[in-house]
Amino acid sequence: MLELLHLFSLLLLVLLGFYVFVADPRSRANQTFAAFIAFLALWTVKDLVFWNFSHREDFPAGWWAATSFVISLLMQYALAIFAWVFPGNERTPRKRAAVLFSPGLILVPAALAGLLWRNVSYDGTNFSISLTPLAYAFVVYVYVVFGFGAAVLFRKYRTFRGTQEGQQLGAILWALSITVVLKTLANIALPYFGIYALLPYSSIFVLPGVLIYAYAISNFRLFSLQTALDQFRLFPITYKVALSIASVAIISFAIFQVPIVWWAFRDGMDLYAWRKYLVFSVISALVPNLLLVLLIVRSISRPLQRLTVAAVKVTDGEYGTEADLRKSNDEIGLLAESFNEMSRKMLSDIEELRKLNEQLIRTEKLAALGTLSAGVAHEVNNPLASISSLIQMIERNGGIDEATSEKLGLIQTQILRIKSVTKDMMDFARARPAARALIDVNDVVQTGLRLAGFDKQFQKLDISTFLDPALPKIMADSDQLQQVFLNLLLNARDAMPDGGRLSVQSRKAGGNVEVSIGDSGPGIGKDDLKKIFDPFYTTKSSGRGTGLGLAVCYGIVTAHGGSIEADSSSEGTRFAVTLPIGEDASESSDS
């Protein structure tokens, strides 16, 4: 019966220590609790061996006494460290710890050397021990360390009273009180009067206090259903490895070791029997060990290898690479999911940076054009004005034949064309402050359609319009926007010289107004699409375009805080102008 109690106590201690430690391995409090449980488990193993298997009169009992003294002191050291670090995960004060623990440098070697007792014996029924004065000094020192740890915890309890930390500290103090009473009764008080009946059960008496201890530092969730569900939802790989090892060990013991022991020693425990046992035990151990290696490789090594390969690819510039892993709820599964998300976001961010860089380059080109345009236009317009004046003088003086007059008219036409180009440059370079007011975009679009309608080629187009009548007003310069829409309409006309479909739409898009103009022309190539807003870049044939129209549109729209984008395919091109809704308009619509 005692043997079963010791085994149950040992199993419970191991499970508690493992559970609390794995819950937060970086917490100093959890680490210290695990160390305390480890020392207590050693105490239980010591009692299990001594009280159940040391029944011979000549069996040396001094080792039990020595380990009892040493382990009891180590448990109090763990308690003192816990008192320092809990609940704020603080560091252990090294100088104070050195002072408090220094007597152990003398007392521990004395215990191991057997200087704490005169004699100790156990024959399976009767136990006796005769202690030296040094042993009492050792016991007093153990209680001093315990009292110090309890005092530190009590001071913290008074500081944190009324909080969850205070409740935890209060529960731990209760656990310590229960433990010290039971341990003192079984190990000190009764043995002092020669009563050793409870001594074999001293390790079991610690369990109530340990359970309260673990319950407190786990935020009172040790036995809750929610905690079990959380552990099921997030099952750490440490648990998986531990369960795999424990399961393989237990199964292999039942399947291999028990039959081998029976077969090897059924005829007696002679040398031949031991040879059989050792040889076949080694052989049988290969199977579970290989199975463990397989489980660990499958659970840890293979996923980490795939993650490493994916990380190397991302390092080499293959952004967006994902680790192909089976979805799991352990740390590796979360790591793989986070890595894949990071890789996808990195690809998205780099693409966004590329677009921003292209936009920055385009803006720099526009700024450079703005600096140069005024000077270029001035230098060109002056000689053109002189030439135009000379032509007019020649025409007024008369005496020229019809052919010469026709040539002079042609020259005057080309001069006007050059002036139109320089005017566009001047307008773009010296953009005046926009005279902005709340306007209806639909009115501006309709005005642009009427102006474009005077063109004979534009009249050939099949025009469909859908202008949202409930469109909110925007704060903008109607003249500048009219220039934008007129340019886009005429560009659509040029894209369909033989006629086609023209679609004009307006709608509300979030906090913006969007006007789209689409044609059914041949479309714009992918490479050309990236450059169409660059100054002097045009896809039109020579003599039909200056390459400034879309650049001017881009400058006007961005100055209004909006954006202009083009989308093209073999079925046509669509320009979308997005402009922010005016503040007054948005307030009125909200009301």
Domain with residue 112: its CATH number is 1.20.1070.10
Q: Which of 81, 73, 96, 66 is nearest to 34 (CA)?
A: 81
Q: How many CA atoms lie within 13 A of 86 on its CB side?
A: 32
Mean pLDDT score of the chain, rounded to an integer?
A: 79
What value does the mean pLDDT take over residues 312-334? Answer: 78
The answer as to whether 342 is a domain residue is no
What value does the mean pLDDT take over residues 515-538? Answer: 77
| Whole-number CA gyration radius for the chain | 45
Looking at 364, 395, 430, which one is the last position of a domain? 430
What value does the mean pLDDT take over residues 42-64? Answer: 77
Same domain assignment for residues 364 and 297: no
How far apart are the C-alpha atoms of 45 and 386, rounded to whole Å?
A: 112
pLDDT at 73 over 80: yes
Same domain assignment for residues 483 and 390: no
The answer as to whether 338 is a domain residue is no
> In this structure, what token pair is assigned to residue 281?
């035990």
Q: What is the pLDDT confidence band of residue 573, given thresholds at 50, 70 and 90?
A: confident
Q: Which of 90, 51, 47, 54 is nearest to 72 (CA)?
A: 47
Q: How many domains does the chain have?
A: 4
Q: What are 78-122's pLDDT values in tens digits?
A: 999 999 998 888 889 999 999 999 999 999 999 999 999 988 887
Same domain assignment for residues 372 and 495: no
Same domain assignment for residues 149 and 36: yes
How far apart are the C-alpha atoms of 373 and 548, rounded to whole Å?
A: 11
Predicted pLDDT at 316 = 83
Looking at 430, 453, 469, which one is the last position of a domain? 430
Tell me the CA distances in angstroms from 419 to 378, 381, 455, 558, one per residue in order.
10, 7, 21, 26
Q: What is the pLDDT confidence band of residue 585, given thresholds at 50, 70 and 90?
A: very low
What value does the mean pLDDT take over residues 27-56? Answer: 83
Q: Which strands, in side-by-side order, build the sheet including 563-569?
A: 462-467, 501-509, 512-519, 572-580, 563-569
Answer whether 448's CB lies under 8 Å from 485's CB: yes
pLDDT at 155 over 80: yes
The answer as to whether 332 is a domain residue is no
Same domain assignment for residues 206 and 260: no
Same domain assignment for residues 166 and 207: yes
Predicted pLDDT at 469 = 87
Predicted pLDDT at 406 = 79
pLDDT at 53 over 70: yes
Predicted pLDDT at 225 = 46
Task: Taking each helix axis as running N to C, give the angle between helix 207-217 and helix 164-184, from 0 to 180 degrees, rounded to the nearest 10.
Answer: 170
Same domain assignment for residues 299 and 384: no
Same domain assignment for residues 580 and 463: yes
Q: What is the pLDDT confidence band of residue 540, given thresholds at 50, 70 and 90?
A: low
The answer as to whether 501 is a domain residue is yes
> In this structure, what token pair is assigned to residue 555?
């400058």
Predicted pLDDT at 329 = 64
Same domain assignment for residues 229 and 196: yes
How far apart are the C-alpha atoms of 149 and 75, rounded to whole Å?
A: 11
Give DSSP secondary structure letters for 118-156. EEEEE-SS-EEEEE-HHHHHHHHHHHHHHHHHHHHHHHH
* Tally of CB atoms within 10 A around 569: 11
Q: What's the pTM?
A: 0.52
Answer whether 362's CB lies under 8 Å from 533's CB: yes
* Amino acid present at 590: D
pLDDT at 144 over 90: yes
Q: What is the CATH number of the domain that holds 479?
A: 3.30.565.10
> In this structure, what token pair is assigned to residue 421?
């180009």
Q: What is the pLDDT confidence band of residue 416, given thresholds at 50, 70 and 90?
A: confident
Same domain assignment for residues 12 and 62: yes
The answer as to whether 367 is a domain residue is yes
Q: What is the CATH number of the domain that holds 426?
A: 1.10.287.130
* Tally of CB atoms within 10 A around 79: 23
Q: What are 276-301's pLDDT values in tens digits?
A: 888 888 777 777 777 777 767 666 77
Q: What are 190-213's pLDDT values in tens digits?
A: 888 888 888 888 888 888 888 888
Same domain assignment for residues 171 and 203: yes
* Tally of CB atoms within 10 A around 503: 17
What value does the mean pLDDT take over residues 264-279? Answer: 82
The answer as to whether 552 is a domain residue is yes
* Least-confidence region, from 101-115, 236-250, 500-514: 236-250
What value does the mean pLDDT take over residues 225-231? Answer: 49
Same domain assignment for residues 241 and 214: no
* Least-confidence region, from 62-76, 332-346, 575-589: 575-589
The answer as to whether 63 is a domain residue is yes
What value does the mean pLDDT take over residues 297-316? Answer: 79
Q: What is the pLDDT confidence band of residue 232, given thresholds at 50, 70 and 90?
A: very low
* Least-confidence region, from 78-82, 265-269, 576-580: 265-269
The answer as to whether 136 is a domain residue is yes
Domain residues for the domain of 225 are 2-233
Looking at 182, 212, 233, which one is the last position of a domain? 233
What value does the mean pLDDT take over residues 542-561? Answer: 71
